[in-house]
Structure 1
Amino acid sequence: MRSVQFTEYGPPSVVHVAEVAAPHAGPGEIRVAVRASGVSAGEMLLRSGEMRAVLPVTFPYRTGFDAAGVVDEVGDGVTDVGVGDEVFGWADAATRGANAEFAVLVAWAPKPGAWSWEEAGGAAGPVETATRVLDRLAVGAGHTVLVQGAAGGVGTVAVQLAVARGAAVIGTASEHNHDLLRSLGAEPTTYGTGLVERVHALAPTGVDAVFDCAGGALPDLLAIAGDAARVVTICDFTAPAHGVHMSHGAPVDETGTVLGSGADPLASHGLAIAVRLAGEGRLRVPVAAAFPLAAAAAAHELSETRHARGRIVLIS
């Protein structure tokens, strides 16, 4: 089968499609014929080598965490889906490989009928990340939440999930994305110089939680929140110096212990929430662009601009 991978650190051009052996579903897993899969922003850092001191990779590295497709193989112990079912979900975080013609998923849910394959293929990663962080921040009804970088793949989903919890949301984005944020239920503002004052004008009684999806602004975000415990980032590696938690997800074992130092448990329950909200017309997955597998390098190039409006996906 065809699978996207890279065999050395470098720019987007090192990403290519290779012919590899198809994987098979093990116990508690399913295999899908992939229709669409997400391009993970975090993999840009892995591919470039910026993370090699912390998270070195084993080559060849097969890319892709989340995908949507049609079940064609069911592992032992799986009873909630069958061959031919349409699902979306994610692969094992360690092995990945979802940017391919076939992928093994370890968590899944029925594909909402309201979503296209492109939307479903890019949904599971942002849903998991947004649910995990909103849970850690204990966001609920009556709260005011600032989402920094609200027009990206995770940010657009985080806005909608926070609104669904009954929170008021302020989202930062470039001005040309403000109408998008309004359509998702957020009050938009721009990022950069003067952010503290702009947010105070929109929320004079204060902000209860800050979800950083962009990085590079923790001093301002701390000033807005007033307490490092009310700020969580998913992308700013200076977080420890500011006393801020940087969230990354890891699975748990049968005892509920998180299998990753400093990690938060993967928010698998977010998939069912997403299915319900999608069915109610309250959750959509903005897709910035869709590329064929053969153009995976171009997808990486677009992701590196950090100006994609929503999720970037690959079509199998």
Structure 2
Amino acid sequence: MLSEQDIAYFRRRIDEVLQSGHVTKWQRQFLSDIRDKMARYGVRTRVSEKQFAILKRLTQDQSPAPKLEVVLSEVAAALRQPRQRQVSNSYSIGAPFERASRNRNPFRLRNPLRPRNPFRLRNPFRPRYPFCYASGAGRDSLLIVIGFILFVGLLGSFFGRTVDGVGSAEPQVGSGVVANAPSRGSANFTITDGDTIRLNNGTRVRLIGFNTPEKFEPLCSNEAKLGNRASERLQELVGRANTTNVSLVACSCKPGTEGTKKCNYGRSCGKLEVDGRDVGQILIDEGLAVPFVCGATGCPPTPRPWCG
């Protein structure tokens, strides 16, 4: 989730980019959608990793760096001037030389993989630092404490995820119905584009059986136009439906890659029905999507016939 500073920064940068006029039509649509979402949800705004990367790329400051003006005459004068060696005022002839004390970190640890040099001559009168060079209980105790803190942190994060998962609306993959909205407007998910949704618990779900045009990274203006229409049509179908039903299914990936970036970019797979009808078939019938059926462990090339 974004912080208040991030929200304020991105909203300011979006306004500046839109006012500059150096954006394409789909980029303007994308920035306008993100700005409206930030204005509506504030710090609760959720964006996918792909959307966040596009947002940072479009809103980064591309103004040219200031040029450093150098006066050649001053540079030449500085080069001709001989270097003068500075002599300390505190030193006088006949005074004993005193070495300045170095501020050592008493808690610095020696690299255990680096062996000591047996031929190095050491000053027998040099002060010893117990935490730095001692190989006894002091350093070992410090390492034990650090390891215990890391172990407790990992254990706490594991149990925290277990407790947060209790009562969650998201079951395991292939377990069937995830959400059932008995009345209009109570769907527990948001729409990312024409074939992707995000559940309220943060799970991204790729709807299977069809593929809609890309609206975030289109190959042509026609695909961007159809991608926006497909996303708007899906929002219209969900908004007008009396019941919505999301069911998770197993993704068509290689065994052992489910839930990782190697399988569907880390997204889950599922089906969305409105009033008992599959939204993919509705979008296909209306010309806003094309069939996209995968096998058991893989998918054919993604069809994108909208640019000729």
- Per the shorter chain, which TM-score range? under 0.3
The structure whose Rg is larger is 2
| TM-score normalized with structure 1 length | 0.23
Higher helix share goes to which structure?
2
| TM-score normalized with structure 2 length | 0.23
Larger RCO, structure (CA 8 Å, separation 6 or more): 1
Higher strand share goes to which structure?
1
